[in-house]
Amino acid sequence: MRNAWENEKANSAAVRADRTLDLTTGLAAHLKSFRRDEEGAVGFILSLGILVSIMVVGGLGIDFMRHERERVRMQNTLDRAVLAAADLDQELDPASVVADYFAKADVKGSVTGANVDSGLNYRTVSAQASGPLDPIVMAYPLPDVQATSEAEERINKVEISMVLDISGSMASGSKIGNLRQAGKTFVDTVIGSGTGGQVSVSLVPYSEHVNAGPDILRHMNYNYKHNYSHCLEIPNADFSQTVFDTTATYDQMQHFQWNYDGYNNYVRDTVCPQYDYERIRPLSQDTTILKNQINSLQPRAGTAIYLGMKWGVGLLDPSMQGVVSDLVSDGVVDSAFSTRPAAYTDPDTLKTVILMTDGINSSSRRIASHYYRTNYNHHVHWAKYNFNWYLSHYVNYYDRPNWSYKSMNTTTANNLLDNICDAAKAKGIVIWSIGFEVNDTGAGIMQQCASSPAHFFRVEGVEITEAFRTIARQLNQLRLTQ
C-alpha cells in the first residue's frame, strides 16, 4: 500500500511539474509574441514619420522649384525688356517699353523701377521687378520673386571701311540699285543722326582699280604722270601687310580703257576709275555726303577685290595718321578724326571692313611702256582713244600683242586678297564680307576673307540691304551688361 501511495504521489508531483513547465513555456511564448507585436508598431510609427518627412521635403521642393521657375521667367522677360528699351532706335519712352514687355508677357509681378541714362551715342537702361508667389504646400509665404537687369547700347569709337564693288557686272539686273539702297541704309544705321566723332566711315569704291583721289595722293609719294585719274600701282609684297608705306614712291596707274571689243571709241570705263564719285571718301561722318556719293555709283570695267581690300585696310592702319592729319588741315576730313587711325592696341576703338562683291577677281592688262607709253603725249593720247579700238583701226593684227601685257591674273589676285585679309585679321581688324549674287567659287573666296563664317553673307537681290543693316546694328554693339 505504501508503495502504491508513494507511486501515486510521485505521479501527481510529476503531473504538477509538467503543468508548471507548460505554463512557463506558454508564458515565455506569449511574452515573445508580445515583443514581436510591439516591434512592429514601433517600425510602423517610424516609417510613417519618414514618409511624412519625405512629403514635407518634397512639398518644399515643389514650392522652391516654382519660385525658381518664376524667377527665371521674370529675369528673361526683364532682360528682353531692357534690351528693347536701350535700343537707340527706340523712340518710345524706355520705362514704358519695359512695363509694356511685362504686360504682354503675362509674368507674375511688376516692374518696381526703371532708370535711364542716355547721351549722344549711348543709352543705358536698368530695371527691377518683383512679385509675390503663393505656396502650394508650405504654410508660410514664399519670398517675393525678384529680378534686376541692365542693358546698354553704345556706339564706341568705330573706324569703318566700306569697300564696294562697282565693276561692270553690277550693271546686271537691279544690282547697282540694290547696292545703293543697301549702302545708304548702312550709313543711316551706323551713323544715324550723329555720333560726335565716334564713328568714321571711309568709302572705297573699286572696279578694276581704286581711285584714291587727288586729295590723298597729294600727301603720298608717287611718280606723277597725269591728272586724268588717281590710282597707284601697289607692289604684290605690300599685300602681306596692313601698312601703306608712306615713305615709298609708288607708280601712278596708266589712264586708258582696254576691256572693250574695240568696235567703238569708248573711253568712259577706264581701268582706273576717273570720275569724282568713284574716288575714295576718307573718314567721314557726314551721312548726306556719303549717301549722295553712294547714290551716284555706276558700274564699269573689271574687278579687283584685292585692291579695294588693300585700300580699305590701309585706311584703318596707324601708318596713315600723317596723311589723315594733312587731310584734316586741308579741310577734307573732319577735325574729330585728327588722331585716326587709332593704334591697334587702343581698347576703345573697333576697326572693321565691310567688303562687298558680286563676282571674283578678274585679269587686268597694261600698255607696254616701251614705244607706246613713254611721255606725256602718250598719256594724252590714251585718254582720248580706247586702246582696243585704236589697235583694231591702226595697228597690224600680228603686232597688237606687243602693245600690252597681262599685269594680273585671277589666281595671283586671289592670293593677294588672301594675304591682305590674313594680315588684317592678324591685327584684330574685323572683316565682314558680302557675296552678292556670286557663284560658289566667289562665295568661297569671300567667306575665307571674313573674320569667321558668321561674318560672311551670301545674298540675292534686296537681301543685300538686310545684310548691311545687320552688320551696322552689330557694330552699334547692343549688349547685355548685367
**Do residues 367 and 271 both lie within one domain?**
yes
**Do residues 94 and 206 both lie within one domain?**
no
Tell me how far apart the alpha carbons of residues 15 and 91 are, in angstroms, rounded to a whole number.
Answer: 113
Q: How many domains does the chain have?
A: 2
Span between the terminal Cα atoms of the chain, in Å: 117
Identify the domain boundary among 113, 139, 154.
154
Residue 6 counted as domain residue: no
**Do residues 258 and 354 both lie within one domain?**
yes
Q: Is the pLDDT of residue 481 over 60?
A: no
Residue 5 counted as domain residue: no
**Do residues 147 and 169 both lie within one domain?**
no
Could you report the per-residue pLDDT of 117-149, keeping only the tens digit for each? 876 557 899 989 887 766 665 555 667 778 888
Residue written as grid cell 502650394 = 136
Question: In the prediction, which pLDDT does 56 show?
Answer: 54
Residue written as grid cell 518634397 = 58
Question: In the prediction, which pLDDT does 130 show?
Answer: 84
**Do residues 454 and 416 both lie within one domain?**
yes
**CA proximity to 262, closest of 405, 400, 398:** 400
**Do residues 100 and 229 both lie within one domain?**
no
Range(s) of the domain holding residue 122: 11-154
**Do residues 175 and 92 both lie within one domain?**
no
Residue 348 counted as domain residue: yes
Residue 57 — pLDDT band, cuts 50, 70, 90? low
pTM greater than 0.85: no
Identify the domain boundary among 154, 177, 197.
154
Tell me how far apart the alpha carbons of residues 438 and 426 are, in angstroms, rounded to a whole number.
Answer: 27
Residue 339 counted as domain residue: yes
Could you report the per-residue pLDDT of 420-470, keeping only the tens digit for each? 999 999 999 999 999 999 999 999 999 999 999 999 999 999 999 999 999
Q: Is the pLDDT of residue 398 over 90?
A: yes
Q: Are 104 and 81 in contact (CB under 8 A)?
A: no
**Do residues 168 and 289 both lie within one domain?**
yes
Q: Which residues contact 442 (CB under 8 A, 6 or more apart)?
A: 357, 358, 359, 360, 435
**Do residues 195 and 133 both lie within one domain?**
no
Cis-peptide, bond into residue 341, ω within 30° of zero: yes
- Domain CATH code at residue 257: 3.40.50.410
